[in-house]
């Protein structure tokens, strides 16, 4: 396994001062900046588009980890790549041809991720692992922050860890949803090496961010 990385989700940041918030979590020790893109179609919420990613890009040199909860996803991939995304993660359900979508992300010079919703079976990644740089397990149903961790996803994390190790490739295994000081060590024990945390990172304001991130990393 790789060292545990912390990717604060700006979904829980103060949207009135996103640039300041990104700088604050960067300084507080975030490894990646996680950007949740929602379209109010694939998921029941509406967040940000490529223009916001482009505007935030100068505020941090950390990798921008962009989770595309949109359908159809293919028409937006190039725009987010040009806006400054480093990692683009997509859902198998968000387009007709997952393999082709991953090929497109790689052709743009970006790292490619596949996201598994709570009901999405692990087998969906078996024939695309050669193209994948990241696997993201949703431990809540996507669309909203602040939800409770779904315990059944721990088995999925374990199953994906087995697949990653067998592949011999350096594929990140990320978990997103209900991550806090209690659930973080459980996710790590199951095999996760990257934690997305929104509420657990941004609670308490900028002065608390470093301690929040350190607590998750220490798990």
Please tell me the number of Cα atoms within 13 Å of 72 on its side-chain side: 7
Q: How many CB atoms lie within 10 A of CB 18?
A: 16
What pTM did the predictor assign? 0.96
Buried b (16+ CB within 10 A) or exposed e, 82-105: ebbbbbbbbbbbbbeebeebbebb
Q: Name the average pLDDT for the chain.
A: 96
Quick one: tokens of 57?
A: 């890009």
d(CA 98, CA 74) in angstroms, rounded, equals: 10
d(CA 139, CA 153) in angstroms, rounded, equals: 6
What's the confidence (pLDDT) of residue 24? 98
DSSP labels, 204-218: T-HHHHHHHHHHHHH
pLDDT band at 145 (very low <50, low <70, confident <90, very high): confident
Residues tagged active-site: 36, 176
* pLDDT, tens digit (0-9, with 9 covering 90-100), for 101-130: 999 999 999 999 999 999 999 999 999 999
If we measure between CA atoms, which residue out of 212, 45, 217, 70 comes closest to residue 145? 45
Cβ contact 209:24 at 8 Å: yes
3-state SS class at 219: coil
β-partners of residue 173 are: 135
Q: Which residue has the tokens 């929104």?
A: 198
* pLDDT, tens digit (0-9, with 9 covering 90-100), for 84-107: 999 999 999 999 999 999 999 999
* pLDDT for 199 beyond 80: yes
Q: Which residue has the tokens 């949109």?
A: 70
Cβ contact 7:196 at 8 Å: yes
Q: Which residue has the tokens 């979904």?
A: 11
């Amino acid at each position: 396994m790789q060292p545990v990385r912390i990717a604060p989700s700006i979904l829980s940041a103060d949207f009135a001062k996103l640039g300041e918030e990104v700088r604050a979590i960067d300084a507080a020790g975030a490894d990646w900046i996680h950007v949740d893109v929602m379209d109010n179609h694939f998921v029941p919420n509406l967040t940000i588009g490529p223009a916001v990613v482009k505007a935030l890009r100068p505020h941090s040199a950390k990798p921008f980890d962009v989770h595309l909860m949109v359908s159809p996803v293919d028409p937006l991939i190039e725009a987010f790549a040009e806006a400054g995304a480093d990692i683009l993660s997509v859902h198998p359900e968000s387009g007709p041809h997952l393999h082709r979508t991953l090929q497109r992300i790689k052709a743009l010079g970006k790292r490619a991720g596949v996201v598994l919703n709570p009901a999405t079976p692990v087998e969906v990644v078996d024939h695309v692992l050669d193209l994948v740089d990241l696997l993201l397990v949703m431990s809540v149903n996507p669309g909203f922050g602040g939800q409770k961790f779904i315990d059944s996803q721990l088995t999925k994390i374990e199953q994906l860890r087995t697949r990653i190790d067998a592949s011999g490739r350096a594929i990140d295994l990320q978990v997103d949803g209900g991550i806090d000081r209690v659930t973080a060590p459980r996710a790590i024990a199951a095999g996760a090496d990257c934690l997305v945390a929104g509420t657990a990172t941004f609670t308490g304001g900028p002065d608390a961010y470093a301690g929040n991130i350190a607590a998750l990393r220490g798990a």
